[in-house]
Amino acid sequence: MEITIVANTTTTPKRVNIMKKCIDKLSWITFILPLILFTSNVNAHTSEEQEPNNIVVGSRTLSDSERAQLATERELSCEDGEEYDIPNVKAKFSAFKEFYQLHYSAFHHMIAAAIDGSSIELEDGSIWSLKYTSDMFSVLGWQARDSIVIEQYDYRGVEYKIINQTRNQYVTTTPTLGPVYEGIHTHWVVSKDSFFGTIQLEDGSEWETFSSSNIASWQPNDTVVIGAYSWGSLYNTILININLLDYARVKLKWAK
């Protein structure tokens, strides 16, 4: 006796609808899951690539007494009377001066600005925050091809003027994020000679300081941004030490 089992292939319309919905959901998940995984992977790589290791500003900052002593020395060490009341006199004129004899590394350009103009980023990755809200509108009109020079604003070494030579404008700033660590536009101290008051940078350039006491706290691997000191001085350059948030007046002795 042969028994034949016949499967019931009939399904109700309700069951068919449920099955279709399940298949549709499964297809959607099958499509979207690889996309999510791919996007996450891209974002992870992008995050790693777009978050370089920047130098922390003031990671080894000077004490208030050290900073005050250096500021006093700078005021007293006038070179043939060339020092001026920097905030009141130099701020009025140096934005419109040409810096012909500077080392090429003293010239910078902006690569980005905050949407409200409150800060700007330079080619070395450093970020400088504006002190005055009245300057923010000017920054929004700056362009990447503009020639930028940095000068000290006061003797304490905390605030600096970013001078846009192309547009004859300047803004008062404070560095809030240092350059990218060992970036292609980043400079750092390789060695110093406290006796002769000289500093050598990673690019082989050697600089003589106006006063060796200004580099007493400097160390190898300190990151520097090269700026300008005008008014006809032989020491027409400043090295801004990002780690100490301080600067030293220097002149170029040797460059490759």
What does the pLDDT average to over 154-179?
Answer: 93
pLDDT digits (tens, 9 = 90+) for 21-51: 555 555 544 544 443 444 444 344 434 444 5
Of the two residues 64 and 182, the one the predictor is more confident about is 182
Q: What is the structure's pLDDT at 94? A: 46
Q: What is the 3-state secondary structure (H, E, C) of the chain?
A: CCCCCCCCCCCCHHHHHHHHHHHHHHHHHHHHHHHHHHHHHHHHHHHHHHCCCECCCCCCCCCHHHHHHHHHHHHHCCCCCCCCCHHHHHHHHHHHCCCCCCCHHHCECEEEECCCCCEEEECCCCEEEECCHHHHHHHCCCCCCCCEEEEECCCCCCCEEEEECCCCEEEEEEEEECCECCCCCCEEEEEEECCCCEEEECCCCEEEECCHHHHCCCCCCCEEEEEECCCCCCCCEEEEECCCCEEEEEEEEECC
Q: What is the structure's pLDDT at 15? A: 56
Using pLDDT thresholds of 50, 70 and 90, give the confidence band for residue 154.
confident
Where exactly are the structural domains of the chain?
A: 54-79+87-254
What does the pLDDT average to over 82-88?
Answer: 45
What does the pLDDT average to over 214-226?
Answer: 94
Predicted TM-score (pTM) of the model is: 0.71
What does the pLDDT average to over 65-86?
Answer: 57
Using pLDDT thresholds of 50, 70 and 90, give the confidence band for residue 251.
very high
